[in-house]
Each structure stands twice: as structure tokens, then as C-alpha cells.
Structure 1
Amino acid sequence: MTSTLDRTTPRDLTADLPARLSLTPMTTLVGRLDGAWWPRSRDLEAELPPLAAALEEPWGRVTRVTVNPTRWPVVPHTVAVHGRTLHVGWFTEQHPDTLILLSYTVGRWDLLVIPPETAPAAAARLMAAAVIPGSLLTAGMLMADEAATGRGVRDAARREAAWEGEGGACAAPSEEPTGGSVHSLSANGRR
């Protein structure tokens, strides 16, 4: 079997860049996600070392990671992280946009994985939404919401541009329309 590894950033450059990571604040409110991670490529061997290094101080040493192979073209069995071995596993039952991190001393964390090709504005929204303490939103819900919201905004802009291009926009009237009155409405729709 031949695998093609699609890298958006070369491996040697990725290792020197810090992980793009957002973590849920430590509170008594427990949510579905413990944070979000926005890798620069789909190369786990290049992306996991900076992630594990960034998590070592706040969470302790990560010993195992699990992913869904749907989003990762190659899932290595192990990855070298600062002279030690990080074990990598995969489960098709795991949500494709989730990364599970395990540690012997601290426990388990679930991170939303934002696809590397995501636009910066969308990634920022997803990272902010994933770290709300006590949130019951799952990775799938967040990704579906972002896809629907992003598509709705693009469709609305396209419809408006078409309307404007077809002559739908007109100049603002210089006078009040005759035979009627103009009323301003408050936010709740009442005068």
C-alpha cells in the first residue's frame, strides 16, 4: 500500500514552531473538551513533539496519544519526543476531530483538532469555543457549527453580491414615501 503524506509545512520547520494550542482553564466545571490544537500539517511525527512539549508543564508528561486515522494519512506507532518515546494509537470509533492524550500521573485529556487548512478566523473561533469551562459541546458539534456558520456567511455574501449586481440596490430615498409614515422600532419590534 502506498501512502501520500500531505504536508502543509516542511517537517524540519514544524519542529521549531510552538504548538498552536488553547487549553481550558483549571476550574471545577468539567466539560467535554480540555482544549483545542491547530496543527500546521497532517504529519503526526512532526506535529506531536511540539504538542507534547507544550503540555508537559501544565499537564505533565504525555505518554500515549490516540487519533482517528481518517484525518491522518500516516499514523506512526511511536514518535520521539525529547529523548523519550510517545506511543501513538488509533481508533476508528474515536471522533475524527479529537485527539486523546494520556499520562500515567495525571490522566486523560481530549482536544479538538482543528484541520491545518482552516482559515485563521475560523480556527480562532473554534479554539475559543473549545475552552469554555463546563461546555457540553463535543468536537463534532463545534466542527459542524463552524461549517454551517461559515457556509451561511459565504452564501449570504454571495446572494447579496448577486442582488447588488442585478440592480437590486437602489439609492436611499431623499424624501419620505408618500401616503405612509415612517416609524422607528425598538429592539423588540415595538414602537
Structure 2
Amino acid sequence: MTSAPTPASPPPAPSGVRLRLAAQQHADRTARRIDGAWWPWTYDLAAELPGLLGELPCAWGRISSVRVDGGGWTACPERMIVAGQPVRVRRTQSPKAFHALCLLAPGRGRWDLLVVPPGATEAEAGRLMERAVTQGT
């Protein structure tokens, strides 16, 4: 007796948030332009943002608003519920914001992350992320 071949299962979805944060020192906070780097798996912000927000330091507080380049993301809702909390997503069309994500937490502050393109090679992403956390650019 032979059995029917099992259909090939799809590859597992990528997991884990690829995030590097710079050491925060309040004395030079005004000099730092970038607080870290994020390398999402896809350009689907609706799928990627909850994982990112779940990995941020508690000291950053609850992120209530996110600003992103509107043209760079395939799915970019105006509002999302993340961990039971509303998060407003604002689109910009600024050339300066093309590879950046701005996170806002009321009463806590603002944090800017470099967004490494999902299609970047591991070596390229590593260089960009390292530079973001060490040089703030």
C-alpha cells in the first residue's frame, strides 16, 4: 500500500524582531538623531508593528503614535490596536523619513529608528544597524 504524497508545507513564517537599540544617555539625547535600527521581515506595517512595539524597552512607555513614510509600506492602516491599546499611524511623504520610523509616547518622549529595507542582505543590514546604534545615523 502506498500513501499519497504529503503536500509540501509552506516555509515557516519568520519570527523574532530584528531590532538594535543605542545606549540611551540623557546628557547627549539632543545630539542623537537615531535611537536604533529595525529590520522588518516585510513591508506590511500592519503585520510588523505589533512585534516591534512588543520588543521596545518598558522605559519608553506606551507608544501611542507612529510616523512612517507612507509610500514605503504596502499595508499602512491609520489606526491599529496593539496589545489592547490604540496606536495611531501617521504617514509622511518626506524624503528624510523614507527609511525612518518615529515612535511617540505621551509624557515620555520620541524615538527614531532607522528602518533597514526587508530585502537587505544580512551583511548589509548588520552594517546599517551597527552604524545606527554607534553613530546615530
TM bracket (short chain): 0.7 to 0.9
| TM-score (structure 1 length as normaliser) | 0.59
How far, CA to CA, are the matches of 1:20 and 1:131 in structure 2?
Answer: 13
Q: Is the 8 A contact 1:77 1:87 kept in 2?
A: yes
Question: Which residue of the partner structure matches residue 110 of structure 1?
Answer: 112
How far, CA to CA, are the matches of 1:100 and 1:26 in structure 2?
Answer: 16
2:18 matched to 1:20? Answer: yes
What's the Cα RMSD here?
Answer: 2.0
Question: Which residue of the partner structure matches residue 183 of structure 1?
Answer: none
Return the letter of the residue paired with 2:98. Answer: P
Q: Is the 8 A contact 1:65 1:86 kept in 2?
A: yes
Change in Cα spacing, 1:136 to 1:26, as seen in structure 2 (3 Å) is closer
Question: Which residue of the partner structure matches residue 61 of structure 2?
Answer: 60
Q: Among all aligned residue pairs of Structure 1 and Structure 2, give the percentage whose two residues are the same amino acid.
A: 39
C-alpha deviations, 1:71-114, integer Å up to 9, x for none?
11232011221112111011112521010000002111111000
Asked which structure has the greater CA Rg, the reply is 1
Superposed counterparts of 1:75-86, under 5 Å: 75-86=76-87
Select between 73-82 and 59-68 the one with higher mean Cα deviation. 73-82
Question: Which residue of the partner structure matches residue 91 of structure 2?
Answer: 90
C-alpha deviations, 1:55-82, integer Å up to 9, x for none?
1524121111011112112320112211
How far, CA to CA, are the matches of 1:116 and 1:23 in structure 2?
Answer: 18
Superposed counterparts of 1:2-151, under 5 Å: 13=13, 17-27=15-25, 28-29=27-28, 30-93=31-94, 94-132=96-134, 135=135, 137=137
Structure 1 runs, 4 residues or longer, greater than 4 Å off:
none
- Structure 2 residue matching 1:105: 3-state secondary structure: coil
Q: Is the 8 A contact 1:24 1:130 kept in 2?
A: yes
Q: Is the 8 A contact 1:67 1:89 kept in 2?
A: yes
How far, CA to CA, are the matches of 2:99 and 2:58 in structure 1?
Answer: 24
Question: How many residues matched?
Answer: 123
Return the letter of the residue paired with 1:121. Answer: A
| TM-score (structure 2 length as normaliser) | 0.81
Q: Is the 8 A contact 1:48 1:79 kept in 2?
A: no
Q: Give unmatched runs, 5+ long, in structure 2.
A: 1-10
Q: Is the 8 A contact 2:70 2:93 kept in 1?
A: yes
